[in-house]
Structure 1
Amino acid sequence: MFAAGGLALLFAQIAYADSANTITFKGEVTEQTCEVTVNGVNARPVVLLPSVAKSDLAAAASSAGLTTFTLGVTGCTVDSNALDIKTVFVANNMTERGNLANTGTAQNVELQLLTDSAGTTPIDLRTGTPVAGITVAAGNTSGEHDFAVQYFSPNGGATAGTVVGTVQYAISYL
């Protein structure tokens, strides 16, 4: 009886271990691949925002320093149809509002990604939703789209200091 109970307990632990320690790998096989650049740089790009006064971020829900950055693709296979490419931004350190958390020294300030250079629509990094934007026109091998980033102070009262945030990106041809 003990052996059967011990065996059942062992299998229960193995089943638990299996479900808790599962690694899922996902990828994509596509008819298209392109080289991706940010502001023309294909490895470890840095987007510099302007210095802003802390008074610009004194009020709740204030933003400042809107800065455009261009995500581009080159070396795509020529196609007779236009290719719409979506971008997924993934943050390892984000706020409860879906913005990039500041790892610099300034307090009460986040970095907010926006879908276009006009800065009209924030990208909620919590969702992992692909963002439309890049189009490679029929017969072309490259395309680009302007996104934007800005300082954002949800509660106001930003303090002076550095502002640093990182985000990973992936593109989807599907």
Structure 2
Amino acid sequence: MHTDPHLPPVFTRAEATQYGLTRHQADHRARSGHWVTLCRGTYAEASAFARRPATEQHALRAVAVLGARADDASASHVTAASLRGWSLPLEHPVQPWITRGDLRRSARHDRHVVVQVATLPATETARARVEVDGWTWTVGTTGPARTAADCLRHLPLGEGVALVDSALRIGDVSSDEVRSC
């Protein structure tokens, strides 16, 4: 098999062809397992992805999912906590969590993403930088207080409390801010 050009840690099929692969080569790599599918139409090179720590894999999955969406979705819950560097549950989910503000849609989850639907005012959102191997992405997230409150609402009690305790200890959020959400 032809050696891949130097691809970013997360890329689409169209980007792979811009880097020099033919559409046929890209399709073959996606089908053969040479690439791992992060979400529909977005990939990572499988062996490089497998060598990454779980938190970095999670961040790259979030970049892929949010990059593939045309709506106002933001990384949320455990994903936003991970992007902030908070201590996570030992068995944190592989799929990124996102929240979208379109209340006409329904919450769902599949093997690539957990989608929550809720009102998400601009005051409860923020931005996070994801940096991997010299590549940088900026993604929308829920703000620290909203992230903490969402984790308390949706995670098992012990995991939610431990995660929020981490955020309180590093000073990202106060207990009053969490209560206000």
Give the TM bin, normalised by the shorter chain: under 0.3
Q: Per residue, is there more helix in 1 or in 2?
A: 2
Instruction: Indicate the structure whose relative CO is greater, using CA pairs within 8 Å and at least 6 residues apart.
Output: 1
Q: Per residue, is there more strand in 1 or in 2?
A: 1
Task: Point out the structure with max Rg over C-alpha.
Answer: 1
